[in-house]
């Protein structure tokens, strides 16, 4: 029987508590595994620049005829260059932020502004 939701787009909101337990490659694998299931993820944290580069690397290793990559955008809620923010990070805290990420086959466009992300997504009828 055909799944009535198969042509819909699934958004998944992920708490930072889940991501806190995952570091390095585990975190990238967790993200990419979910994206390959055709989900758009909204994560309650911003990725660091190093994590963004790592994510692009891992995405490139995953590219196939069926998976053409990702669209990603990060909002850093607070500047992470201030003394207060550095201190929060040093103590293991979070300075906020948000990441939207999904398969490039679904996300037609991401428009980023310093404090806002707009996403246009479309699923082709199967």
Partner 1 sequence: MPFRKFLGWFKGFFGKKKIIRLGLYGPPNAGKTTLANKISMDWTGEPVGKVSEVPHETREVQKKEKVTVKVGGKTIVMNLLDMPGISTKIDFEEFLQYGFSAEDAKQRAKEATKGVIEAIKWLENVDTALVIMDSTRDPYTQVNITIIGNLEARNIPIIIVANKIDLPESNTKWIEEAFPQHPVINVSGLTGSNVNDLYSAIAKYSK
H or E element in which residue 49 lies: helix 49-62
One symbol per residue from 32 to 71: x for binding partner 1 (CB under 8 A), - otherwise; what is it? Answer: ----------------xxx-xx--xx-xxx-x-x--xxxx
The residue among 2 and 48 lying less far from partner 1, judged by its C-beta, is 48
**Of 26, 48, 29, nearest to 97 (Cα)?**
48
By CB under 8 A, tell whether 88 contacts partner 1.
Answer: no
Binder among 3, 113, 124, 126 for partner 1 (CB under 8 A):
113
CB 11 within 8 A of CB 39: yes
Task: List interacting residues with partner 1 (CB under 8 A).
Answer: 48-50, 52-53, 56-57, 59-61, 63, 65, 68-74, 104, 110-114
């Amino acid at each position: 029987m055909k799944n009535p939701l198969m042509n819909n787009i699934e958004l998944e909101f992920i708490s930072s508590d889940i991501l806190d337990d995952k570091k390095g490659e585990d975190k990238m694998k967790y993200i990419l595994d979910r994206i390959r299931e055709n989900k758009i993820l909204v994560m309650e944290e911003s990725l660091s620049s190093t994590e963004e580069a790592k994510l692009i690397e891992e995405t490139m290793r995953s590219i196939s005829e069926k998976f053409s990559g990702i669209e990603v955008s990060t909002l850093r809620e607070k500047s992470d260059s201030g003394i207060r923010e550095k201190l929060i990070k040093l103590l293991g805290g979070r300075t906020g932020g948000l990441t939207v990420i999904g398969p490039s086959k679904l996300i037609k466009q991401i428009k980023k502004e310093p404090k806002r992300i707009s996403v246009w997504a479309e699923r082709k009828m199967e």
